[in-house]
Amino acid sequence: MMQKSEHEEAAAGSGAVSAGQAGRERSVLMSALSAVGLGGDLGSEPPIDPMPTLVKWFEEARSSGRYDDFNAMTLATCGADGAPSARVVLCKAIEEEPPAIVFYTNYKSRKGRELGENPRAAAVFHWPHAKRQARVEGVVERTTAEESDAYFRTRPLISRIGALASPQSQPISGRDVLVASALRVAGGLAFGQELTRPEHWGGFRVRVRRVELWSAREGRMHDRVSWECAESGSGKREWRLSRIAP
Ligand SMILES: Cc1cc2nc3c(=O)[nH]c(=O)nc-3n(C[C@H](O)[C@H](O)[C@H](O)COP(=O)(O)O)c2cc1C
């Protein structure tokens, strides 16, 4: 005997529904779907350039006061072995022109090593208060030493000590090793001495090639638009936009 699919089972189960009830359900469904409308969060005609909207969503997440880390993003990298890895980092800047996002880390970490082998990254923000997701993909380069120095100076002293003391992503025998290393760094500081940035710590700038903005709508009719950035022969940047089924 042929097995019924899940869909067929569900359809058979609904045989008990009266014609009146089915009609009412249908009209509730139709009005729910028409309430979804055409213009979602991104409007019926999404912008040509996604970066101002990405910045707007980022700033709205900041001002919502709903997050300890409104700028947290999951960052995926993939080294020479082709195996992807992901972790959360903080996005420290979104730049509209040329389009880029910036984060800081230890260049000798796993992500740092993988980006050295394959300078491409993908990042995703999730802002649940607004039911929004933003995906960004691109090619990565290190920030300049001056930029990394400037950002390093803004960090609290304890974070700067941590950057020097922690061999990020390396195995350590226990937390005591880490604490001892941090105490050594702190103990070696003369009164009032500035802690300068170690060379193995700094920023990455992801030159954005692709953006996808996703905004939840009723009945899984989510708003989803992707943009791909291409350089024309004259070096002019052009965004190609596609609306994508959710
Ligand atoms: C909310 C949050 C923010 C973080 N921000 C950073 C960051 O900005 N830079 C960083 O190197 N690690 C950050 N981390 C730690 C990383 O997730 C990760 O543990 C570390 O960078 C080592 O990753 P890797 O071994 O894959 O290189 C953060 C973790 C969390 C949970």
pTM of the model: 0.87
What's residue 14's pLDDT?
A: 52
Domains parsed from the chain with CATH numbers: 41-165+196-243 (2.30.110.10)
Is any ligand 1 atom within 6 A of the Cβ of residue 88? yes
Task: Determine the atom of ligand 1 nearest the C-alpha atom of 113.
Answer: 27
DSSP secondary structure of 55-70: HHHHHHHHHHT--S-T
Task: Determine the atom of ligand 1 nearest the C-alpha atom of 86.
Answer: 26
Centroid of ligand 1 to alpha carbon of 76 (angstroms): 12
Q: How far is CA 223 from CA 8, 84, 114, 118, 243, in A?
A: 29, 27, 33, 32, 8
What's residue 2's pLDDT?
A: 46
pLDDT in tens, 195-228: 999 999 999 999 999 999 999 988 888 999 999 9
Centroid of ligand 1 to alpha carbon of 203 (angstroms): 13
**d(Cα 68, Cα 76) in Å, to the nearest integer?**
22
| Residue numbers in the chain where pLDDT is lower than 70 | 1-16, 32-40
What's residue 1's pLDDT?
A: 45
* Bond prior to 98 in cis (omega within 30° of 0): yes
Is any ligand 1 atom within 6 A of the Cβ of residue 86? no
Centroid of ligand 1 to alpha carbon of 17 (angstroms): 53
Task: Determine the atom of ligand 1 nearest the C-alpha atom of 85.
Answer: 26
What's residue 92's pLDDT?
A: 98
Helical segments of the chain, H only: 6-13, 19-36, 51-64, 110-117, 145-154, 157-165, 175-187
